[in-house]
Amino acid sequence: MSIKNIATSQALDQVRYEIRGALAKRALQMERQGYEIIHLNVGNPGRFGFRTPETMRLAMIENLSQAEAYTHQKGIFPAREAVVMQQQNRGVLDVSAEQVFIGNGVSELIDLCLRGLLNPGDEVLVPSPDYPLWTAAVVLNGGKAVHYDCPPERSFAPDLEHIEAQITPRTRALVLINPNNPSGHVMDRVTLEALARLAEKHQLVVFADEIYDQILFDDAEFIPMATLVHDTLCVSFGGLSKVYRACGYRVGWAVFSGDRRHAGEYLDAVELLSALRLCSNVPAQWAVQTALGGYQSIRELIAPEGRLSRSREAVINAVRQSQFLQLSAPRGAIYAFPSVDSEQLPGFNDHRFAMDMLEQQHVLLVPGSSFNVPYHNHFRVTFLPRAGVIDEVFGRMEQLLESYAQA
């Protein structure tokens, strides 16, 4: 009897997530063989010695007796109310706990919000480069991801004319990632206001991915999109993973603001989908109120002498000293998105480079084209490691690039 291969969903043909893809699998194989790999592929603070604030851990422990049963599908009230208070402090005054959903990280909420919105063939405007979950979630929920340019020559600022030119009758939503992953670009007020007016003009739902909202450098200013969107629906995403170094807690939130007059059925749909998964992780929800209302320790890390600032500066200096690399300095988030000078290294390929860095230099990074861009001369690294590790990594990188040039 012949055995047929199990066919996979055709929807996966357009889905990529190389952050944890073939390169990461190869790195695991090498580690099992005894090699020490420097992981710069995932923004995972706990892997580099960052601890979740102790007060958050204690809040979970003290409330474990209240975390053994399912909770409401939107989340526990203290967590949702804490998110409301944060929004009000930022100037978003038209939300209550009823408009807040707690999920198993922002990733789950992105999926739920898109699933409740999209019909087959509906289009969503997604930045290029993007965090690839956004493109994947659009495709897996039957939509079409239409990428708008945030080109390197504009320091990854969006091209507003290009965005509007791509709007069609099937366009349902506009995605912003601010601060941006992977580029570290932080949008200014003028750009955000223009995007808000564009979304209002075409009645697009605005999805504002703001998970890195408090991780800023130099003179960068974070402006909540919800403070600018008034005449259409805005969904703002945040969570504990990055600012509070609590990736494993899997706690995120989505806040629905702006014009909700015609969004009742949509919010009901998101609540239905939330109910189908019963509820999100309950113990970690008890850390939200303490996190948002307590001391914001992230400020120490991003201060000029803070650990994240020093590591970021190490990346900038390493690129400055390189004969092959260029960089638009990240002003937010925890990543850098350098490029290789294609004139010095014609034919450079980001995937080959990433594999060579892994096999020859034992460093795991992510090819730039993984972030839904049309060019192949960028790569992403996280600057979560200490500055000394950053220096070592870029030293190895320069050796590999020099070998390319000699070849």
In order, the DSSP letters of 184-227 are: -----HHHHHHHHHHHHHTTPEEEEE-TTTT-B-TT-----GGG
236 and 151 within one domain: yes
139 and 286 within one domain: yes
175 and 119 within one domain: yes
15 and 103 within one domain: no
278 and 154 within one domain: yes
Of residues 252 and 7, more confidently modeled: 252
Which one-letter DSSP state was computed for residue 65?
A: G
Q: What is the mean pLDDT of residues 130-158?
A: 96
Position 4 in a domain: no
264 and 185 within one domain: yes
For the chain, give the mean pLDDT: 95
306 and 157 within one domain: no
74 and 186 within one domain: yes
Strands 123-128 and 335-336: unpaired
Position 70 in a domain: yes
With cut-offs at 50, 70 and 90, classify the pLDDT of residue 306.
very high
Domain boundary among 264, 293, 322: 293
Position 179 in a domain: yes
Domain boundary among 254, 276, 293: 293
Distance CA 321, CA 55 (A): 41
Q: What is the mean pLDDT of residues 313-325?
A: 97
210 and 137 within one domain: yes
With cut-offs at 50, 70 and 90, classify the pLDDT of residue 73.
very high
141 and 194 within one domain: yes
Position 86 in a domain: yes
Position 166 in a domain: yes
> Tell me, what's the pLDDT at 188?
97
With cut-offs at 50, 70 and 90, classify the pLDDT of residue 361.
very high
With cut-offs at 50, 70 and 90, classify the pLDDT of residue 378.
very high
99 and 215 within one domain: yes
Provide the number of structural domains found in the chain. Answer: 2
Work out the burial of residue 32: count CB atoms within 10 Å of its CB; fewer than 13 is exposed, 13-18 middle, 19 or more buried.
exposed
> Tell me, what's the pLDDT at 364?
97
Position 1 in a domain: no
> Tell me, what's the pLDDT at 407?
83
247 and 115 within one domain: yes
- Name 123's bridge partners: 144, 171
- Statement: residue 214 has pLDDT above 90: yes
- Statement: residue 40 has pLDDT above 80: yes
CATH number at residue 183: 3.40.640.10
With cut-offs at 50, 70 and 90, classify the pLDDT of residue 118.
very high
Distance CA 76, CA 302 (A): 31
Percent of the chain at pLDDT > 90 equals: 93
CATH number at residue 365: 3.90.1150.10
Domain boundary among 274, 293, 312: 293
Position 176 in a domain: yes
| 194: containing domain | 54-293
b/e map 133-148, b = 16+ CB within 10 Å: bbbbbbbbbebbbbbb
**Full-model pTM:** 0.95
